[in-house]
Amino acid sequence: MNSILIAIILVPVIEIYLLIKIGSQIGALTTILLIFTTAIVGVYYAKYEGLNTLRSGFIQLKNNVTPAYEVLSGAIIAFAAILLIIPGFATDILGFILIFPISRKLIFASFSKKFSKKKNKNNDFIEGDFEDIEDDNDR
């Protein structure tokens, strides 16, 4: 089964379960207020982090450096903001984890190790220089 299909099925089930459990402990109105509060605070923090990332990206461009980290970070912040807008506690927790810069750096470090280029250990190449000589007697 496709992992996206499993996520589409499991995420709402987990959210409903958590809403029922937490709502039975703290009350329905408090649960609703908590969901709105986490969404509002999360979106404002996502906006703050997004602007910081955008500023950092412009600084990188000014210094003639490719802002690869900033581009990926901006995409993750946008995804985290969407997760924070979706009502529920599991998506809010994941959204807050993705918004914090420390966790983003850890995620990038793990992905960069996974997708880094492997060096050629066989040394199947010959290093050298060449010079193009123009000759009247081309063979």
Q: What's the confidence (pLDDT) of residue 123?
A: 60
- Residues 40 and 119 sit within 8 Å (Cβ to Cβ): no
Q: Give the predicted TM-score (pTM) of the model.
A: 0.74
Residue 72 CB neighbour total at 10 angstroms? 15
138: pLDDT strictly greater than 60:
no
Q: What's the confidence (pLDDT) of residue 119?
A: 52
56: number of CA atoms within 13 Å, CB side?
Answer: 15
Q: What's the confidence (pLDDT) of residue 18?
A: 94
**CB under 8 Å, gap of 24 or more: what pairs does 104-108 form?**
104/73, 104/76, 107/76, 108/69, 108/72, 108/73
Residue keyed to tokens 């496709």: 2
Lowest mean pLDDT among 8-12, 86-90, 106-110: 106-110
* Alpha-helical runs (H) found in 1-139: 3-26, 28-62, 68-85, 89-99, 101-115
Q: What's the confidence (pLDDT) of residue 4?
A: 87
Listed by start position, the domains of the chain span 37-108
Q: What's the confidence (pLDDT) of residue 126?
A: 73
Q: What span, in angstroms and rounded, lies between the C-alpha atoms of 22 and 32?
A: 10
Residue 77 CB neighbour total at 10 angstroms? 25
Q: What's the confidence (pLDDT) of residue 94?
A: 93
- Residues 71 and 57 sit within 8 Å (Cβ to Cβ): yes
- Residues 35 and 88 sit within 8 Å (Cβ to Cβ): yes
What is the average per-residue pLDDT within 86-101? 92
pLDDT tens-digit series, residues 35-75: 999 999 999 999 999 999 999 999 999 999 989 889 989 99
Q: Which residue type is seen at 19?
A: L
Confidence of residue 17 (pLDDT cuts 50, 70, 90): very high
Q: What span, in angstroms and rounded, lies between the C-alpha atoms of 53 and 61?
A: 12
